[in-house]
Structure 1
Amino acid sequence: MANAPIESAQAQARGVALAGTLPAPTSGGAGGRIIRVTSLAASGPGTLREALDATGPRIIVFEVGGVIDLGRSTLSISQPFVTIAGQTAPSPGITIIRGGIDVRTNDVILSHIRVYTGADGQPRRSGWEADALSTVAAANVWIDQCSFLWGVDENMSASGPRFTGNSVEEWRAGTSRNIVFSNNLAAEGLADSSHPKGEHSKGSLIHDNATGIVFYRNVWAHNVERHPLVKGGAQVLMINNLIYNPGHRALHYNLMALEWTGQPYVDGQITAIGNVMRGGNDTDEGLPFLMLGGDGDLSYYGRDNLAVDRHGNALPQFGRYGETRARLIHARRPLAPLDGYRILEARDVETSVLATAGARPWDRSADDIRVLFFVAEGRGDIIDDESEVSSYPASTPTNAAFIEGQWDLATMTPLSGRYPGQTAFAAPQENLSPRDRRSRGE
Structure 2
Amino acid sequence: MIDRRSLLVMTAAGLLLPGAARAAARIVRVTTLDREGPGSLKAALDEAGPRTIVFEVGGIIDLDKTTLKLTQPFVTVAGETAPDPGITLIRGGISVATHDVVIRHIAVRPGTAGMAKKSGFEPDGLTTTSAYNVVIDHCSLTWAVDEALSASGPRFGGATLEDWRRNTSHDIVFSNNIVANSLHDASHSKGPHSMGSLVHDNVTGVVITGNLYANNNERHPLVKGGGQAVVAGNVFANPGHTCAQYTLVEDQWTGRDKVAGKMILRGNVMRGGQDTRAGLAMLTFGGAGDLELHAAGNIATYADGSVAPIIGYYQARSDGYDEGGTYVPKAFIRSMPEPANLKLPANTERHVYTNAGSRPWSRDPIDAAIIAAAKAGTGRIIHSESEAGGYPVRPSTRRPFNPKTLLRVGGLE
In the superposition, the TM-score normalised over structure 1's length comes to 0.85
Please tell me whether residue 52 in structure 1 is matched to residue 45 in structure 2.
Answer: yes
Q: Deviations along 1:235-283, whole A, 9 cap, x unmatched? A: 0001110001111110110100111011110000000110001100000
Counterpart CA distance in 2 for 1:360 and 1:23 is 18
5 Å-filtered alignment, 1:347-362, equals 348-362=347-361
1:414 Cα offset (Å): 4.0
- Number of the residue aligned with 2:324: none
User: What secondary structure, in the 3-state scheme, does the structure 1 residue paired with 2:231 have?
Assistant: strand
1:329 Cα offset (Å): 1.0
Q: Deviations along 1:306-350, whole A, 9 cap, x unmatched? A: 11001211111111112341111122333xxx53x53134xx211
Counterpart CA distance in 2 for 1:294 and 1:26 is 37
CA RMSD of aligned residues (A): 1.8
- Number of the residue aligned with 1:326: 331
> In structure 2, do the counterparts of structure 1 residues 95 and 181 end up closer, same or farther at CA, with 3 Å as the change threshold?
same
Counterpart CA distance in 2 for 1:277 and 1:381 is 15
5 Å-filtered alignment, 1:10-409, equals 22-24=11-13, 26-28=15-17, 30-31=22-23, 32-321=25-314, 322=316, 323=319, 324-334=329-339, 338-339=340-341, 341-345=342-346, 348-404=347-403, 406-407=404-405
Q: Deviations along 1:151-179, whole A, 9 cap, x unmatched? A: 00011000000000000000000000000
Counterpart CA distance in 1 for 2:214 and 2:268 is 14
- Between 1:165-174 and 1:23-32, the stretch displaced more is 23-32
Q: Contact conserved, 1:26 with 1:140, CA < 8 A, in 2?
A: no
> In structure 2, do the counterparts of structure 1 residues 414 and 291 end up closer, same or farther at CA, with 3 Å as the change threshold?
closer
Structure 2 unpaired stretches of 5+ = 3-7, 320-328
Please tell me whether residue 413 in structure 1 is matched to residue 407 in structure 2.
Answer: yes
- Number of the residue aligned with 1:10: none
1:21 Cα offset (Å): 6.8
Counterpart CA distance in 1 for 2:76 and 2:14 is 13
Counterpart CA distance in 1 for 2:352 and 2:13 is 19
Q: Contact conserved, 2:13 with 2:102, CA < 8 A, in 1?
A: no
Counterpart CA distance in 2 for 1:141 and 1:219 is 19
Residue identity matched to 2:366 = D
Counterpart CA distance in 1 for 2:368 and 2:14 is 29
Q: Contact conserved, 1:56 with 1:79, CA < 8 A, in 2?
A: yes
Q: Deviations along 1:56-110, whole A, 9 cap, x unmatched? A: 0000000000000000100011000000000000010000000000000000000
> In structure 2, do the counterparts of structure 1 residues 363 and 25 end up closer, same or farther at CA, with 3 Å as the change threshold?
closer
Q: Contact conserved, 1:65 with 1:93, CA < 8 A, in 2?
A: yes
Q: Contact conserved, 1:246 with 1:279, CA < 8 A, in 2?
A: yes
1:23 Cα offset (Å): 5.0
Residue identity matched to 1:379 = T
- Number of the residue aligned with 2:322: none
Counterpart CA distance in 1 for 2:237 and 2:407 is 30
Q: Contact conserved, 1:30 with 1:59, CA < 8 A, in 2?
A: no
1:30 Cα offset (Å): 3.1
Counterpart CA distance in 1 for 2:122 and 2:217 is 16
Residue identity matched to 2:16 = S
Q: Deviations along 1:375-433, whole A, 9 cap, x unmatched? A: 011111001111112111111210000133x35xxxx2149x9xxxxxxxxxxxxxxxx
1:197 Cα offset (Å): 1.0
Task: State the identity %.
Answer: 47
Counterpart CA distance in 1 for 2:383 and 2:304 is 25
Q: Contact conserved, 2:9 with 2:16, CA < 8 A, in 1?
A: no
Residue identity matched to 1:332 = P
Q: Contact conserved, 1:21 with 1:342, CA < 8 A, in 2?
A: no
Counterpart CA distance in 2 for 1:224 and 1:30 is 40
- Number of the residue aligned with 2:5: none
Counterpart CA distance in 2 for 1:75 and 1:92 is 21
Counterpart CA distance in 2 for 1:211 and 1:126 is 33
1:24 Cα offset (Å): 4.0
Counterpart CA distance in 1 for 2:172 and 2:388 is 31
Counterpart CA distance in 2 for 1:89 and 1:41 is 15
Q: Contact conserved, 1:63 with 1:90, CA < 8 A, in 2?
A: yes
Counterpart CA distance in 2 for 1:314 and 1:74 is 41
